[in-house]
Structure 1
Amino acid sequence: MKNLVTIDNVDMRYGGADGTLAVEGLTLHVEKGEFAAVVGPSGCGKSTLMKLVTGLHIPQKGVVTVAEERVTKPVSIVGMAFQNPTMLPWRTTLDNILLPLEVVEKHRGRLRMNRAEYVAKAEKLLETVGLKGFGSKFPWQLSGGMQQRANLCRALIHEPDLLMLDEPFGALDSFTREELWCVIRDLHFERKVTIVLVTHDLREAVFLADRIFVMSSRPGRIIEERTVPFARPRDLEIMYQKEFNDIVHELRGSIADARKAA
């Protein structure tokens, strides 16, 4: 299967030649249609990895490739969702979801000419994530979990080939978080979108991902790659199985060792 994302021997430093080296010799690849998770100690460069892939940062050394093109500017085929949904409070949920179409140049004209088509698409996404009928609500009328569901819709509205998730469920309670794991699991299955998830939650990584990359302490690099052996679709009950928890504990051990080596 083709790689959609390739990071090859990348160094990224903030603050000039004497600044902080965030990642060094970072190398990984993500196949088209794969669900990859990235875990590691706090400050190891997980968010830097996200910004490199999306073209928000350009490395000082090495090459980042997305869809067979070297990344030298922000990548338009990417959808992004972060821990903070950052919905605009003066816009309805529906209008918040449509916002990327107003920003991404190739969609701007289409939105003006085919607004009804895009509204229907947004309404379908809302139904998919369990928010049918909430398009007219404002963000302040939604719970945190509901805002994050809408945030996922916004990330998917322009049908990206790659979805980047940076701790999107970290601020939610455990029950809402697990509900949204199932939402993103089903979205991945239905849309065949390639997903890269950055998370501190090892259960989340093992439940959702096909492969898990473990990063070292700063400067970050990949120190372990783990293939998750469980068949899809996975139910939440799998988290009570010994094999599942063995992987979680082994990953926790790898991260603890990475902290000690810092």
Structure 2
Amino acid sequence: MSHFVELDNITLRYGGEDTGTVALEGATLRVARGEFVAVVGPSGCGKSTLMKALSGLWPVNAGTVIVAGREVARPLEIVGMAFQNATLLPWRTTLDNVMLPLEIVQPHRGRLRRHRAEYEARARDLLKLVGLAGFEQKFPWQLSGGMQQRASLCRALIHEPELLILDEPFGALDMFTREELWGVMQDLWMTKRPTVILVTHDLREAVYLADRVHVMSARPGRMVHARTVDLARPRTLEGTYTASFTAITQELREHISHARAAA
């Protein structure tokens, strides 16, 4: 079976060959096209480093990274990314922040001037989908943290990436806003169906959103457990309190505890 994302036995070291820190060693991950996968593990296990390797932002020292059938040797243009901090540019409106990738990524950069109305309509549709209709001309300081993160998700999706990488995108938000955005993210994924890889410390978040959850070992990180989440979609907050949901989160918690103890 071919996979859209294939990380095969990768090792990644920061610093020198002898004195550097080995962040990943023997890490392997395969993700099908359109699948939503979450990665969890102890703090410092290399989850974010895994995303850097996957997106081409940091080259691996050993092993291979293949996305869409091609080995990754430089930053990928088919990737959309969202992080813990929304990092919206303060001098740009919400609409202009969402449209920023179109000014950078081909072929959109070459088409933007001639087809701006078409792209603006796409951005407005995304903002409407996440509940930000009417906020297109607001600046980041005029938005709440949750609204900024909604805009960040739209920015990650505006160029219709084949792969969406989410690195703790809701980690800085309060619990109620975070849970609200789980529903927003689920709706976005079910509507657009990109391949998604989510890094999170929140096990409820992982189980709520993902088709499959991978647990990493302590540093140097590698995959030590995979759990398919066989819960019906769309998922609800009420469903997070059911016995089946709780059993999955508890299983993942035990594997993380074991990984920490083995460090």
The normalised TM-score by structure 2 is 0.98
Offset at residue 78 of structure 1 (A): 0.5
Query: What percent of counterpart residues are identical?
Result: 65
1:109 & 1:188 partners in 2: Cα distance?
Answer: 27
1:178 & 1:256 partners in 2: Cα distance?
Answer: 24
1:93 & 1:123 partners in 2: Cα distance?
Answer: 10
Unaligned runs of 5+ in 2: none
1:160 aligns with 2:168: no
1:180 & 1:106 partners in 2: Cα distance?
Answer: 30
One-letter amino acid of the counterpart of residue 52, structure 2: K
1:173-231 CA distance string (max 9 Å, x none): 11111111001111111111111000000000011100000000000000001001112
Out of 212-221 and 239-248, give the one that drifted further: 239-248
Offset at residue 106 of structure 1 (A): 2.3
The aligned runs of 1:38-187 (5 Å cut-off) are 38-187=39-188
Structure-2 residue corresponding to 1:21: 22
Structure-1 residue corresponding to 2:199: 198
Offset at residue 2 of structure 1 (A): 4.1
One-letter amino acid of the counterpart of residue 10, structure 1: I
Out of 249-258 and 219-228, give the one that drifted further: 249-258
Structure-1 residue corresponding to 2:12: 12
Unaligned runs of 5+ in 1: none
| Partner-residue secondary structure (3-state), 2:23 | strand
Out of 227-236 and 43-52, give the one that drifted further: 227-236
| 8 Å Cα contact 1:121/1:157 also seen in 2 | yes
1:190 & 1:86 partners in 2: Cα distance?
Answer: 25
2:149 & 2:131 partners in 1: Cα distance?
Answer: 11
One-letter amino acid of the counterpart of residue 253, structure 1: E
1:99-139 CA distance string (max 9 Å, x none): 11111142211111111111110000000000001110000
2:113 & 2:52 partners in 1: Cα distance?
Answer: 30
One-letter amino acid of the counterpart of residue 161, structure 2: P
Structure-2 residue corresponding to 1:249: 250
| Partner-residue secondary structure (3-state), 1:62 | strand
Structure-2 residue corresponding to 1:219: 220
1:209 aligns with 2:229: no
| Partner-residue secondary structure (3-state), 1:10 | strand
| Partner-residue secondary structure (3-state), 2:12 | strand
One-letter amino acid of the counterpart of residue 68, structure 1: G
| 8 Å Cα contact 1:2/1:32 also seen in 2 | no
1:207 & 1:32 partners in 2: Cα distance?
Answer: 19
1:120 & 1:2 partners in 2: Cα distance?
Answer: 35
One-letter amino acid of the counterpart of residue 8, structure 1: D
One-letter amino acid of the counterpart of residue 144, structure 1: G
One-letter amino acid of the counterpart of residue 211, structure 2: D
1:3 aligns with 2:11: no
| Partner-residue secondary structure (3-state), 1:169 | coil
RMSD (Å), alpha carbons: 0.9
One-letter amino acid of the counterpart of residue 258, structure 2: D
1:214-260 CA distance string (max 9 Å, x none): 00000000000100111211111111101111111111111111111
Tell me which stretches of 4 or more aligned residues in structure 1 moved more than 6 Å: none
